[in-house]
Structure 1
Amino acid sequence: MEMNHLIIENMANPHELERLFRKDPKAFKKSFPHAWEQNPESQVLAVWYERLHFKESANTQNAFLLQKGFFFMGLLAILAGICTRIIFHFVEQQAIAPINLAFGILPFIAAYFVYTNPPKKMVLYSLAALFLISGLYLNMLPLNDKDSTILVYLHLPLFLWGLVGLAFTGNEYGEGRTRLAYLKFNLEFCILYASMAVSGMLLFALTMQLFRFIGLNIEDFYFSNVVVFGAAALAIVAAYLVSMNLKFAKNITPYLAKIFSPLVLTTLLVYLITVIGVGKNPFLDRNFLIAFNGILLGVLAVTIFSITESDTDEKKNISDYINFALIVLALIIDSVALSAIVFRLSSYGITPNRLAVLGVNILIWANLIWIMVSYMRFLQNKTGPSSIQDAVTKYLPVYGLWAAFVTFTFPFIF
């Protein structure tokens, strides 16, 4: 009862009540009802009553939602594993293209988002129809190594990624903040999935070694029936954990963004200086041009994820100047790549690959210009970080539309 007396004695001293609570929360919660019954007119104790009981109510509700979402996630994970295993069987038989494996994972992640954030029927029906049409269309294409077919294999995952983004944003697909949240989800998802995948690989290696000790080689069976199933199911689990605000990924991503930006900038500067020194020419060397575009995409990805990890009320710091330098560097790389692609088109003629690369480089160039101008205005204290994030989020649908255009028109044009 000593705690009860202390609570009553310090009703007019909120600071002391907070100290008592932090010193022994269990004793405070146990004694508080007695103090509240004796002094129901106290406004300070009324606030504490709501604080303690609201927290318990919220925890109960969250536990119910967590349990409900957990069971649905488990069902989706099992279905994703089974579907991926079935698709993998037909891929092994060379009856369908390997890119079909995406349909064993992405629709189920989209289904989880639809379940947790139910959209309007129009959005729901659009998602279902587009996933179905994409799957049917992909498997109507001939299994060959023609450039137009390979371009479909490369661009279809980007289009499906856009559909998952539509499921994530739901009815707020036009809002910049929900698109930004989707970008953050992707970064956190990749970090978490990679962490769990490393554990899975260690388990795989340990299992193989244990069975070798007894003279059995189960590598092919284990990979086909356990690894493939687990890799698909793990994607659903990772999406669930990230959406449940798992602190591991959320705590580490801002630091990764701040660490990798200067490292990437330094590495690229050294690399480009070396390239100039050895006389490599992207206008004549096709493989080097491909590598140049790969560098461009990597820089764009690092820059975008660095931007998404900035708070809208954050003041400018050294990271912003590094990001701006990365954007300028990416713009230089893209300008050189564009010039090389135009040169190759005029010199060697039109091909599906050259047109596809030209299109995506023009899109990236325009996006980089927008981001760079927004960053310049931010660094000049004319706008806040939200304008930079708008330059990223508002442009995202353009990439999805381009992927859809290449996927659904190039096989017919060429």
Structure 2
Amino acid sequence: MGLMELHTELEAHIGRWRGYVQRRQAISAADVEEMEDHLREQVADLQANGLDDDEAFLVAIRRLGNLDAVSREFAREHSDRLWKQLVLVPEDLDDAAAPRWRELGVVLALAVGAGVAVKAGLAWLGDDGGLLARNAGLLVFPFLAGYFAWKRRLTGRVAAAVAIPFVALAVVLNVYPFGSPGSTELLAALHAPVVLWLLAGVAYVGGKWRSDGRRMDFVRFTGELAIYYTLLALGGAVLIGLMFGVLQIVGLDLEPVMEDWILPFGVPGALIVAAWLVEAKQNVVENIAPVLTRVFMPLTIVMLLALLAVLASAGGLVDVDRGLLILMNAILVLVLCLLLYSISARDSLAAPGLFDILQLVLLAAALAVDAVMLTAMLSRIAEFGFSPNKIAALGLNLLLLVHLAWAAWLTIGFLRRRRPFGALERWQTRYLPVYGAWAAIVVVVFPLVFGFA
């Protein structure tokens, strides 16, 4: 795309600028591409006139006249750099954002639609718990993907690329003759949301899934969505609890209304609203993200070390409780999520520091736990034989082992200043589709291999 090969640090500057602009409300993906082309042309011209990489980048950003408002926001967020001095200019009064009533209307309509779908699913499928569990994600994620499709103005080709796998997955989950209750049915219900979430991610990035920057944006969005959804859930729980207390005093029972209406509409609707809040309030959440990762990373390290001590004192690995292994798997997945969110929240241009060392300690502890779990799983398979659950858990742990091991290696290279932080970022985003592929295999292939048992 550029007119000349630019230095790595300059590419990092441009990548960071591009990621920031892509998350703005009124700028489409096509506009971002066009503006990046213009930015690179400006940089090349300024370099030809004798400016170094940093100077050329800063002046080129200032010259993007159509991006004054975005540049001001970018400068505020990165006020520790010279960008603030070069692009922070007085705002025009006519640039004040108008109320986004149209978008709010779309969001509320999709939130209500998701609630109606869940309510209908409970009415039609409620008697069959397994069928309802398999279809739970299909009742909600299409509305979330629909919001992204509307927001990103997806082309028909990209929309079809998202919709067709949705339909195919729905057919598999409802046509397969699962034995109920059965292991493959449970595995399909647990892994289908992973596939659906990554399909929603394709809509989120506007179909540009091959872009490392856009995939990292989706990782960042996922973490921020979890924060907002948790805040909405906690706030809703407090309000409902207060309402319960007041109504009980006057002799009214809210529980039937809670089960029949509040939860079916509130749980899926809050997901759509949380997605909208993340999109609308990017700057606020981006200030929270580094704080959260710095708080939870040391705590997670302590937890992993404690778990290693528990596993070491559990005796023979064959005798390790199955429930403990399942819980450990869940913890490793949470560690991976923390790692991804920590990397997405980090300033890629900053030098190695204390929290990069802590990240390496986190990876080492997670690898040790994963190695112990793999040994325990292989011991149980050798003792009791294969089963769908054991193979699914083993496959996930092998994927985690590869992911965490290479991330640790890249982190060591970054700490020794032999690799840029961007290499660690790219590894995370390029490995994500592997989890989606494994989840699809578990949903589609496992039932056939294990006879739908």
Map of 1:185 onto structure 2: 221
Q: Which amino acid aligns with 1:82?
A: V
Cα displacement (A) at 1:112 = 0.8
Map of 2:126 onto structure 1: 92
Q: Which amino acid aligns with 1:75?
A: A
Using a 3 Å threshold, how does the CA distance of structure 1 residues 196 and 294 change in structure 2: closer, same or farther?
Answer: closer
Task: Pick from 88, 92, 100 the counterpart of residue 55 of structure 1.
Answer: 92
Aligned equivalents of 1:390, 1:222: Cα separation in 2: 44
Aligned equivalents of 2:124, 2:288: Cα separation in 1: 39
Give 3-state SS (helix, strand or coil) of 2:401's partner: helix
Q: Does structure 2 retain, via aligned residues, the 8 Å contact 1:341–1:354?
A: yes
Cα displacement (A) at 1:246 = 4.5
Task: Pick from 112, 119, 123 the counterpart of residue 78 of structure 1.
Answer: 112
When structure 1 is superposed on structure 2, of 125-134 and 315-324 the one drifting more is: 125-134
Aligned equivalents of 2:234, 2:244: Cα separation in 1: 15
Task: Pick from 213, 226, 229 the counterpart of residue 262 of structure 2.
Answer: 226
Map of 1:109 onto structure 2: 144
Task: Pick from 322, 339, 346 the counterpart of residue 303 of structure 1.
Answer: 339
Map of 1:20 onto structure 2: none
Q: Does structure 2 retain, via aligned residues, the 8 Å contact 1:76–1:112?
A: yes
Aligned equivalents of 2:315, 2:302: Cα separation in 1: 20
Q: Does structure 2 retain, via aligned residues, the 8 Å contact 1:151–1:353?
A: yes
Map of 2:350 onto structure 1: 314
Q: Which amino acid aligns with 1:115?
A: W
Find out whether 1:69 has 2:103 as its counterpart: yes
Find out whether 1:243 has 2:275 as its counterpart: no
Aligned equivalents of 2:158, 2:115: Cα separation in 1: 26
Aligned equivalents of 2:378, 2:137: Cα separation in 1: 33
When structure 1 is superposed on structure 2, of 169-178 and 97-106 the one drifting more is: 97-106
Using a 3 Å threshold, how does the CA distance of structure 1 residues 94 and 279 change in structure 2: closer, same or farther?
Answer: closer
Give 3-state SS (helix, strand or coil) of 1:359's partner: helix
When structure 1 is superposed on structure 2, of 155-164 and 306-315 the one drifting more is: 306-315
Using a 3 Å threshold, how does the CA distance of structure 1 residues 282 and 118 change in structure 2: closer, same or farther?
Answer: farther
Map of 2:416 onto structure 1: 380
Map of 1:329 onto structure 2: 365
Task: Pick from 115, 121, 124 the counterpart of residue 159 of structure 2.
Answer: 124
Q: Does structure 2 retain, via aligned residues, the 8 Å contact 1:91–1:98?
A: no
Using a 3 Å threshold, how does the CA distance of structure 1 residues 275 and 221 change in structure 2: closer, same or farther?
Answer: same
**Identity percentage over the alignment?**
28
Task: Pick from 195, 210, 220 the counterpart of residue 159 of structure 1.
Answer: 195
Q: Does structure 1 retain, via aligned residues, the 8 Å contact 2:121–2:132?
A: no
- What do the CA deviations read for 1:23-78 (whole angstroms, capped 9, x no partner)? xxxxxxxxxxxxxxxxxxxxxxxx99x966x734443xx427x3332221122112
Q: Which amino acid aligns with 2:251?
A: G
TM-score by length of 1: 0.82
Cα displacement (A) at 1:143 = 6.0
Task: Pick from 201, 206, 210 the counterpart of residue 237 of structure 2.
Answer: 201
Using a 3 Å threshold, how does the CA distance of structure 1 residues 282 and 120 change in structure 2: closer, same or farther?
Answer: farther
Aligned equivalents of 1:201, 1:351: Cα separation in 2: 39
When structure 1 is superposed on structure 2, of 365-374 and 267-276 the one drifting more is: 267-276
When structure 1 is superposed on structure 2, of 93-102 and 368-377 the one drifting more is: 93-102
Aligned equivalents of 1:74, 1:119: Cα separation in 2: 20
List aligned pairs for 1:234-383, cutoff 5 A.
234-276=270-312, 278-285=313-320, 286-383=322-419
Give 3-state SS (helix, strand or coil) of 1:172's partner: coil
Q: Which amino acid aligns with 2:174?
A: N
Give 3-state SS (helix, strand or coil) of 1:171's partner: coil
Q: Does structure 2 retain, via aligned residues, the 8 Å contact 1:152–1:407?
A: yes
Q: Does structure 2 retain, via aligned residues, the 8 Å contact 1:97–1:143?
A: no
Aligned equivalents of 2:314, 2:108: Cα separation in 1: 55
- What do the CA deviations read for 1:287-311 (whole angstroms, capped 9, x no partner)? 3333332332232222222112112
- What do the CA deviations read for 1:333-380 (whole angstroms, capped 9, x no partner)? 222222222222233222111111121111111111221111111011
Q: Does structure 2 retain, via aligned residues, the 8 Å contact 1:106–1:161?
A: yes
Cα displacement (A) at 1:227 = 2.5
Aligned equivalents of 2:266, 2:393: Cα separation in 1: 35
Q: Does structure 1 retain, via aligned residues, the 8 Å contact 2:317–2:375?
A: no
Structure with higher Rg: it is 1
Using a 3 Å threshold, how does the CA distance of structure 1 residues 215 and 292 change in structure 2: closer, same or farther?
Answer: closer
Cα displacement (A) at 1:93 = 2.7
Task: Pick from 250, 254, 272 the counterpart of residue 214 of structure 1.
Answer: 250
Give 3-state SS (helix, strand or coil) of 2:207's partner: helix
Cα displacement (A) at 1:247 = 4.2
Aligned equivalents of 2:404, 2:118: Cα separation in 1: 37
Find out whether 1:405 has 2:438 as its counterpart: no
Aligned equivalents of 2:237, 2:350: Cα separation in 1: 39
